Amino acid sequence: MDIQSATWTEVRDAETNLAMVPIGSTEQHGPHAALGTDTLNAETVAETAADRLDDPVAVSPAVSVGVAEEHRQFSGTLWTSESTFRSYVRDIVESLAFHGFDRVVLVNGHGGNVAALREVAGTITRHDDAYAVPFTWFEAVGEDAPPMGHGGALETSLLQHANPDAVREDRLDDAAAEGTRRWGNWKGKVNLAFDSAEFTENGVVGDPREASADLGEDLLDAASEALVDLLETVAEHDTERPPRK
Ligand SMILES: [Zn+2]
């Protein structure tokens, strides 16, 4: 059940306590992929899982600006601080729980959101009237998938399958040639870089020429199946907090 297109009476009558919040970002994804890539991909995975799940699940509107200051040198990139982002996500989950959707999966499409989502899910679960857990789609696509990169084969493939208008196909060669292949600027296991502009000229990490709509379909199958599995587990999960020892 998509909350944006439902009426309030339909939401009131929905027989489920499960919800998903798609969470993305508005940030550069190279010269070939839309700034909304992470939001579009998170929505695609959440909507597909909602369709495939036997039971109903409420899907909130997406959070489309996240923790992305690392891409600030590239035009159009928008960001919030981590604390604002965590507060905003927490409030959304609180309002879902108020309506009875108190088991919530945060369906994430952006690497920069991962740490903040883990932290806020823990805060919600410990202190609020809801259980929340984050799920990041590209961590659930299996070992054979291309490396994550940024605007590389993985993200570009999912767009080509589900949102082909978000990819400028005629720029893939340039995107790959002027990009880089490895995230970060490493000294041993320490990443010296804080902004992506320190290690990529056009914002790309990886090789978007290896992307295809077919690969995108396979990635979506894998990610949405893992998400369905997680939703079924969350629906049954014992959410009681353990007592103090
Ligand atoms: Zn991305």
- Ligand 1 centre and the CA of 117: distance in Å? 16
Say if residues 25 and 39 touch (Cβ distance below 8 Å).
Answer: yes
pLDDT tens-place string over residues 22-71: 999 999 999 999 999 999 999 999 999 999 999 999 999 999 999 999 99
* CA 149 – ligand 1 centroid, Å: 8
Structural tokens at position 181: 């292949």
pLDDT tens digits for 57-87? 999 999 999 999 999 999 999 999 999 999 9
Q: What are phi and psi of 195, to 5 degrees?
A: -115, 140
Span 163-198, pLDDT tens digits: 999 999 999 999 998 989 999 999 999 999 999 999
Distance CA 70, CA 23 (A): 17
Distance in angstroms (rounded) separating the CA atoms of residues 124 and 52 = 27
Token digits of residue 15: 């027989």
CB of 33 within 8 A of CB of 159?
A: yes
* 138 Cα: distance to centroid of ligand 1 (angstroms): 10
CB 119 within 8 A of CB 86: yes
Distance 61 CA to ligand 1 centre (A): 18
Tokens of 87: 């507060």
What pLDDT, on a 0 to 100 scale, did the predictor assign at position 164? 98
**Residue 117 burial by Cβ neighbours in a 10 Å radius (0-12, 13-18, 19+):** buried
Residue pLDDT, tens place only, 195-206: 999 999 999 999
CA distance 185 to 176: 18
Q: What is the pLDDT of residues 196-240, one digit of tens each?
A: 999 999 999 999 999 999 999 999 999 999 999 999 999 999 999
Give dist(CA 166, CA 190) in Å, integer.
34
Dist. CA 1 → ligand 1 center (Å): 26
- Domain 8-236: give its CATH architecture: 3-Layer(aba) Sandwich (3.40)
> In 10 A of CB 184, how many CB atoms?
16
Which pLDDT band holds residue 115 (cuts at 50, 70, 90)?
very high
Give me the pLDDT at residue 222, please: 97
Measured distance CA(118)–CA(135) in Å, rounded:
9
Phi/psi at 223 (5° precision): -65, -45
Q: Which residue in 20, 28, 24 sits closest to 201, CA to CA?
A: 28
Taking the centre of ligand 1 as the mean of its atom positions, its distance from the CA of residue 203, in whole angstroms, is: 11
